[in-house]
Structure 1
Amino acid sequence: MVSGSSAEDHRYLPDSVEQAVKLLVVGAFGVGKTTLIGSVSEIAPLRTEETMTAASIGVDDLAGLAAKTTTTVAMDFGRVTLNPRLALYLFGTPGQRRFWDLWEGLAEGALGVLVIVDTRRLEDSFEVLEQLELRGLPFAVAVNHFPDTPRHHTVENLRQALDLLEETPVVMCDARQRRASLDALITLVEYVMRSAESAQEVPV
């Protein structure tokens, strides 16, 4: 059972935790990475957000993001104790391409990646997925539902549109909801574990 969400009660890891796993949360600009980490973190999440200024005009595509006034410029960080023995450290990456150099440092030591996509701007996710393929990390895709997100997309439609392998997990998610965000992370952890077990079974 996943621990509760009170930051005051969970500032320190339980003594029972035997393993800590680093995961990345990535995605294009404005897909909900900061929101997801904030919804699940049992500690006050670290955020490096800055107010968007006129300098972003013509650089950051705000189509469909009229209410967005801040953007991550370095990383987001949160922690969730998934079960008494396992804790997840979550590192959220900036979405804009000009910040992608930061990915190299953030990806070091990560065992898996949760990719958040927005079906209203699905094409923005293509370059993000290409970056992950270059790094060779196992990943799962979480489709974040916004109030005006079209609901007719099926998992198979999205898998084809994003050119994903059959084994790549795709889950529907509302990043504002803790349970939905946790389910997405659990899907990723299970996939990472299966991938590791499969790699060990391959004869050398």
Structure 2
Amino acid sequence: MDSRISEPVLGPRSEDTLPASVTTAVKVVIVGGFGVGKTTLVGAVSEIRPLTTEETMTQAGAGVDDIAGVERKTETTVAMDFGRITLSDELVLYLFGTPGQQRFWFLWNGLFEGALGAVVLIDTRRLEDSFDVMCRLEERGVPFVVAINAFPDAPSYPMSELREAMDIPDTVPLIDCDARNRGSSRDALLTLLRYLHTLTTTPPESR
């Protein structure tokens, strides 16, 4: 298996140095099953050159990784993705994308450490992959929002049906997202921040 670290550049980037006015840094994790678009989202929204740890998929993963629905995928994250986005003069988000295959999920605990919240990316062709992902976040006590990533050949369902099928509480935001689009990915992160704010201002019994 050919191992490499790539740093794709998607669009113009700002300087790597943070503005002196930044006072708050927040860690956010981007999670989801295999091939749901985590690396794409981090790459699309990051203002610095994103770090990805990808390996070329070979026959070694045959029979181990479930590639149903993503048969054309040729590379996969084996450690993490990393990016950064400055949302205001004072606030910056550090983004950590998790590997999707279950054989790499042992790395998730370290990536969850210190995370304020998570964006769960969903592929409607593989809804079943989302259940274990959300369970792990709930077990760790990491708040999350759910974003339905747009795939051209993926079936479309009403949000109410998706919420019921995935047993997502009414209080947890469920949104559409195009991980390829910088603005859409940024909106998903802003949805998470707004949700986190409501958690700090809403009494537990009202959530």
User: For 1:79 and 1:146, how far apart are their aligned partners in 2?
Assistant: 24
- Which of 188, 192, 195 is equivalent to 1:191? 195
Equivalent residue, structure 2, for 1:17: 22
Counterpart check, 1:181 vs 2:185: yes
SS of residue in 2 equivalent to 1:164: coil
In structure 2, stretches of 5+ residues that fail to align are 1-10
Instruction: Detail structure 1 runs of 4+ shifted over 4 Å in the superposition.
Output: none
Equivalent residue, structure 2, for 1:113: 118
- Which of 156, 159, 176 is equivalent to 1:155? 159
Equivalent residue, structure 1, for 2:8: none
Equivalent residue, structure 2, for 1:47: 52
How far does residue 193 in structure 1 lie from its aligned partner after superposition? Answer: 1.4
**TM score, norm. by length of structure 1:** 0.92
User: For 2:91 and 2:15, how far apart are their aligned partners in 1?
Assistant: 14
Please list the CA deviations of residues 20-58 of structure 1 after superposition, one character each: whole Å capped at 9, or x if unmatched: 100000000000000000000000001000001101111
Counterpart check, 1:76 vs 2:72: no
User: For 1:12 and 1:193, how far apart are their aligned partners in 2?
Assistant: 27
Equivalent residue, structure 1, for 2:40: 35
User: For 1:63 and 1:42, how far apart are their aligned partners in 2?
Assistant: 32
Percent of pairs identical after alignment?
A: 58
Please list the CA deviations of residues 66-99 of structure 1 after superposition, one character each: whole Å capped at 9, or x if unmatched: 2210110000000000111110000000111111
User: For 2:169 and 2:147, how far apart are their aligned partners in 1?
Assistant: 15
Equivalent residue, structure 2, for 1:59: 64
User: For 1:21 and 1:154, how far apart are their aligned partners in 2?
Assistant: 32
SS of residue in 2 equivalent to 1:83: coil
**TM score, norm. by length of structure 2:** 0.91
Equivalent residue, structure 2, for 1:170: 174
How far does residue 10 in structure 1 lie from its aligned partner after superposition? Answer: 2.7
User: For 1:49 and 1:192, how far apart are their aligned partners in 2?
Assistant: 31
Equivalent residue, structure 1, for 2:7: none
Equivalent residue, structure 2, for 1:100: 105
Q: RMSD of the TM alignment (CA)?
A: 1.3
Which amino acid in structure 1 is aligned with residue 109 of structure 2?
E
Counterpart check, 1:91 vs 2:96: yes
In structure 1, stretches of 5+ residues that fail to align are none
Counterpart check, 1:132 vs 2:144: no
Which amino acid in structure 1 is aligned with residue 129 of structure 2?
D
